[in-house]
Structure 1
Amino acid sequence: MPNANEDKSSALSQVQHRAVSELLRVSPVADDLARRFQAAGFSLSLVGGSVRDALLGRLGNDLDFTTDARPHDVLKIVRPWADALWEVGIAFGTVGCHKTGHVEGTDQTFQIEITTFRSESYDRTSRKPEVSYGDSIEEDLVRRDFTVNAMAVSLPEKRFIDPHGGLRDLAARVLRTPGTPEASFSDDPLRMMRAARFAAQLEFDVAPEVVSAMKAMAERIEIVSAERVRDELNKLVLSAHPRKGLTLLVDTGLAGHVLPELPALRLERDEHHRHKDVYEHTLTVLEQAMALEEDGPDLTLRLAALLHDIGKPRTRRFEKDGRVSFHHHEVVGAKLTKKRLTALKYSNDMVKDVSRLVELHLRFHGYGTGEWTDSAVRRYVRDAGPLLSRLHKLTRSDCTTRNRRKASALSRAYDGLEERIAQLQEQEELDAIRPDLDGNQIMKILDVPPGPVVGEAYKFLLELRLENGPMEHDRAVEALLAWWKAQEAGSPTEG
C-alpha cells in the first residue's frame, strides 16, 4: 500500500504532466511574445492563475504574464505584434491585448494581460491600492494572494519558478498565503473574499491560519470599494460550489460586512422545531436552482435564490398555537434585496430583476394546489413578464421538504401551472398581454385628449383582458363606453 509521501509524489507528477501538455499547447503564441521581450532586453513569464490552471489541466485562452519591462516599454513591444491593444489597466501596470495564433491546427484568439513586476498595499483609509514597480520575479510573486497563484514559468526556456511551495499546495488542494496571511490581507483586504471565491471555484480547503486571519481581520473588508466586493461576490456565486465559499464568508464574519442578510438567516430554532433552518434552506435552494440552469450559470437566478428569504428575520412571529409565521416576507425581502444590491453597485436592471423575483417567489403558493383559472394564469404570466422562466426555476427550487409526498404534490401542482400557461399561450398572446383597444383607439372612441382619463380607461380594459381573455372589437368598445358612462355619472363600474 502506498504511503502518504508516495501519494503526494504521485499527485505532483500528475500535476506536472498536465502542465507540460497545457504549456505546449499555447507555446506558439507565448514563446513568440517572449522572444520579442527577450530581444528588447526584458524577461517574460507566464504567471499566477494561468500557471495554476495549466497545472490543473484547464488552461484556457486567457493568459497572464509578468515582466520587468515598464508599461511604456511593454506598449512598444506589444503594439506591432497584437491584433488589438487596450490600456485600461495601465495605471496599475497592466497592458492588455488580443492575439490570434495557429494552435493545434486551428486559429485561436488569446486574451493576454502583461503586468510589470509590482507590489500593492493599502493604507488604513484608502479604497484603492497603491502601486509600486519591482525589479525581480521573486519580489512580484511574494505579493500575490495565495501560493497556488504565486508560481511562474519563465519563457521561452520554460523554467518553473515556485519559491513558496505552490505546487505542493496545489496537489494538496489547499489555499495558503506566500507570507503571513495577516500581511497579505493587510496589503489587500479583498484577498479574504478571494479565499472564499477560490474555495468555491476550485473546491480547495483554506488553511487554518488563513481562516483565523480572516476572522480577525474581517472588518478590514470595509475599506474596499463596493464594486470590487461585488465582482468577487459574483465570481463566488457563479462558481461550481458556491455553498463552500458562502459558508466560509459567514463563518469568518466577512458576510456580516458585505452581505449581512445572509448570516441573519441563521435564526435560532424554536423549541419545537416548527420551522426549518432558513440559512441551510437558502443554500439548498441555491444549489437546486443551479441544477435547473439550461445555458450556463445564471447570476440573476442565483442571486434571487440566495436572497429570496432575507425578509424572514424581520417578519418572524411566534403564533399562539405554537406555529411560526413569516407573513409578507417576500415583500419585505424584495425591499431589502433592492437596498443591498444597490449598495453593492449592481446595475439597475439587475436590482430590478432580482428584487422582482424575490417579490414573486411565493405567488404560486398563494393559489393553493387547486385548478388554476385562466385569469390567475394570465396575471401570473403578466406579473412575471420576461422573468417567467427564472420564476419557474426559483419556485421549483424553493421546495426543500424531505417529505416526498409533499414534494411530489408541489411538483405536480407546478407542472399543472406550466401546462395551463402553455395551453393559454397557444390561444392567446400571453407574453405580451395588452388591452383589446390601444390608447389612440380609446381617445377616438371617447373623444378625449391625452391625459389621465386615457390611462384609467387603459387600466380598466387591461383588467378585463386579464379576467376574461381576448374580446372582439365591438364588445371591447361596448365595455369601454359602459365604463365611460359610469365615470361620467360618478358611479363605480364592475369589471
Structure 2
Amino acid sequence: MNFKEQLIPYPVLEKVAAAAKELGVEAYIIGGFVRDLILKRNSKDIDIVSIGSGIELAEMVAGRLGPDVFVSVFKNFGTAQIRQGDLEIEFVGARKESYRSESRKPAVEDGTLADDQNRRDFTINAMGISLNAGTFGELVDPFEGMSDLRKKIIRTPLDPEITFSDDPLRMMRAIRFASQLNFDIEPDTFDAIVKMKDRISIVSMERISDELNKIIRSKTPSYGFKLLYHAGLLAIIFPEMVELQGVEHIEGKGHKDNFYHTLQVLDNVAQVSDDLWLRWAAILHDIAKPATKKFDKRHGWSFHNHEEVGARMVPVIFRRMKLPLNEKMRFVKKLVRLHLRPIVLSKEEITDSAMRRLLVEAGEDIEALMNLCRADITSKNPEKVRRFISNFDLVEQKLKDLEERDKLRNFQPVITGEMIMEAFGLKPAREVGVIKEAIREAILEGIVPNEYEPAYAFMIREGEKMGLKKV
C-alpha cells in the first residue's frame, strides 16, 4: 500500500527524503502521524526514524529548508526537533530498548527499523511510511496495524504483559487511544492491563494525569473511565471516584449509583463544552457523597452538605494528582461548591435576593455553572427532566434580566471601607466592617440600589443606629 499521494500536502517530507539520500541513510515516518493520516485525522506532529543519526539528518533537513529554520537538539535522548510552519518534526535514530523492573526508563542502543517498530506501544502506532528512493510512500506494517485500524482495535505488537511491564504508562495510553478513537481494546491486551495494573505505581503522577486529561478531553469520556474502572486502574490512581460506585438499600430505599451518574454528567458537559476544567467540575461535583451519605427512616438517603465538603476535597485531589493549584483549581472548587444552588432555585419560588447572591458568588463563571447544572439533570423519568429543564429556563432568564439591570457579575458595593471611615471619622475598627456588610446585604436584598447617593444615605442611617455621628 502506498501513501505517496497523501504525503503531497507535506512538502517538507520530500526535503527529508532528499537529505536522507544525500547522507546515505534510510528514513521513515513512524507512529501517530501515520495512524492519523490513514484515519484522516489532523496531525501536526511528525516522527521521523533514521537508520543512522537522527540529529545529523535533522541538521541536513534544516539546511535545505533555509537559514531561518532552527534545530533543537536533545543529545541525552538522541533526538532533534524542527518547526516548519505549524508542523513539529522530531528526528531520532532507530533504537532497540531494554527495561529494568523498577523503572520505565529503557536502556537504549542503536537498532534496525524492525527493532524500532518492536518497541512501539500498539500496532496502530507501529506502522511506518518509507521516505526512501524507490519505495517513497510505501507502508511498512509488520504487525497488521492497518487491519487493526479497520477493526477498530487497540493491540500491542508483542506480548502485552511484557509491553505493559516494561512501560506501565502504556496501560493508560491504551485506554486513552480507545477513548479518543472509540476503539475496543483487544481481549488479551485488556486482560494484561488487569494483570499488570499494580505496575502503574512506578509511573509519576504527572504522566498519569496527562493521560487522564486526554481521556477527559475525548468526545465521550465516560468510555475511558469505564475501561479504567474495569481494568482496576481507577482504584489506584483515583480512589475517591471509585468510592462513588454502588447502590446501598435499607428498608427498601436505595440511592442512585453516583459513579455512573457522574459519568453521565461528564458526558453531558462534553456535549456542550471542550473546557477541560468544566469537565473536571463535572467529575468532582458529587465527590463527597460517600463521605456525607446518611440514612433516615422517614426521608431515606441524604448527602447533606456534600457540595461544601466536596469543595474542600478539590485542592487535596488536585495536589495529589499534580494538577494545577491555580485559578483552574479555584474555578473547579467554586463550581463544586455552587452546583446545587441553581437546582434549588429551580425548585422554589424564585426571589431576586437569591438570584443576586448566586450572580455575585458565581461572577464570570455563571455560564459554566449553569452548563454544569443542566448536565446534572440525569433522571430516567422524562417528565421529571422536562419539568426541571423548564424551571431551569426560568432561572436562566431571571439571571439574565437581573444581570442586565443590576450589573452584579463583578459586584462591589459602591461604598468602600475608606468612605465609611472618612464619613464617621473612624480608624480601622469593627464598626466599619459591620456597616460595610449591612450595605452589601441591603444591595443584595434590593433594599437600596448599588448607586452612590442612596447607598451613602443608607450608610449614614446604619452608623447612627450604632451611635456614630457624621463628621
Please tell me the residue identity of whatever aligns with 2:383.
Answer: R
Residue aligning to 1:103: none
For residues 6-405 of structure 1, the aligned pairs below 5 Å read 19=3, 21-26=5-10, 28-70=11-53, 72-80=55-63, 81=65, 83-85=68-70, 87=72, 91-100=76-85, 109-119=86-96, 123-126=100-103, 129-130=105-106, 132-156=108-132, 157-270=136-249, 272=252, 274-293=254-273, 297-321=274-298, 323-348=300-325, 349-367=327-345, 369-405=347-383
**Cα distance, 1:453 vs. partner?**
6.0
SS of match in other structure, 1:367: helix
TM-score normalized with structure 1 length: 0.86
**Cα distance, 1:227 vs. partner?**
1.1
SS of match in other structure, 1:441: helix
Change (3 A) 1:346 1:85: farther
CA distance in 1, matches of 2:370, 2:73: 40
**Cα distance, 1:292 vs. partner?**
2.1
TM-score normalized with structure 2 length: 0.90
Change (3 A) 1:21 1:284: farther
Q: For structure 1, which segment, 36-45 or 198-207, has the greater mean C-alpha deviation from structure 2 after superposition?
A: 36-45
Residue aligning to 1:10: none
Change (3 A) 1:155 1:471: closer
SS of match in other structure, 1:430: coil
Contact 1:120 1:129 in 2 (8 A): no
From 441, 460, 469, the equivalent of 2:419 is: 441
Q: For structure 1, which segment, 89-98 or 251-260, has the greater mean C-alpha deviation from structure 2 after superposition?
A: 89-98
Deviations 1:125-169 (A, max 9, x none): 44x624524221111111111011011011042232111121111
Change (3 A) 1:135 1:319: same
Change (3 A) 1:384 1:88: farther
Please tell me the residue identity of whatever aligns with 1:34.
Answer: A
Please tell me the residue identity of whatever aligns with 2:144.
Answer: G
Residue aligning to 2:459: 480
CA distance in 1, matches of 2:98, 2:241: 29
Please tell me the residue identity of whatever aligns with 1:431.
Answer: R
CA distance in 1, matches of 2:240, 2:83: 41
Contact 1:71 1:90 in 2 (8 A): no
CA distance in 2, matches of 1:29, 1:433: 54
CA distance in 2, matches of 1:487, 1:124: 73
From 390, 397, 409, the equivalent of 2:387 is: 409
Contact 2:130 2:140 in 1 (8 A): yes
Change (3 A) 1:120 1:396: farther
Q: For structure 1, which segment, 261-270 or 395-404, has the greater mean C-alpha deviation from structure 2 after superposition?
A: 261-270
CA distance in 2, matches of 1:68, 1:196: 31
Please tell me the residue identity of whatever aligns with 1:299.
Answer: L
Gaps of 5+ in 2: none
Contact 2:346 2:392 in 1 (8 A): no
Deviations 1:426-480 (A, max 9, x none): 2121221110213443343233456776555444432222222624423322322
Residue aligning to 1:104: none
Change (3 A) 1:467 1:72: same
Contact 1:436 1:470 in 2 (8 A): no
CA distance in 2, matches of 1:359, 1:396: 16
Contact 2:98 2:107 in 1 (8 A): yes
Contact 1:49 1:149 in 2 (8 A): yes
CA distance in 1, matches of 2:60, 2:178: 37
Please tell me the residue identity of whatever aligns with 2:17.
Answer: A
**Cα distance, 1:196 vs. partner?**
0.7
Aligned length: 460
Structural RMSD (CA): 2.4
SS of match in other structure, 1:470: coil
Contact 1:119 1:132 in 2 (8 A): yes
Contact 2:55 2:91 in 1 (8 A): no
Gaps of 5+ in 1: 1-15, 101-108, 490-495
Contact 1:195 1:206 in 2 (8 A): yes
**Cα distance, 1:189 vs. partner?**
0.6
Contact 1:250 1:262 in 2 (8 A): no
Contact 2:17 2:131 in 1 (8 A): yes
CA distance in 2, matches of 1:163, 1:335: 51
Q: For structure 1, which segment, 243-252 or 432-441, has the greater mean C-alpha deviation from structure 2 after superposition?
A: 432-441
Q: For structure 1, which segment, 136-145 or 115-124, has the greater mean C-alpha deviation from structure 2 after superposition?
A: 115-124
**Cα distance, 1:95 vs. partner?**
2.4
Please tell me the residue identity of whatever aligns with 1:278.
Answer: N
Contact 2:359 2:403 in 1 (8 A): no
Q: For structure 1, which segment, 36-45 or 448-457, has the greater mean C-alpha deviation from structure 2 after superposition?
A: 448-457
Change (3 A) 1:273 1:144: farther
CA distance in 2, matches of 1:86, 1:385: 46
Change (3 A) 1:74 1:259: farther
Change (3 A) 1:86 1:461: farther
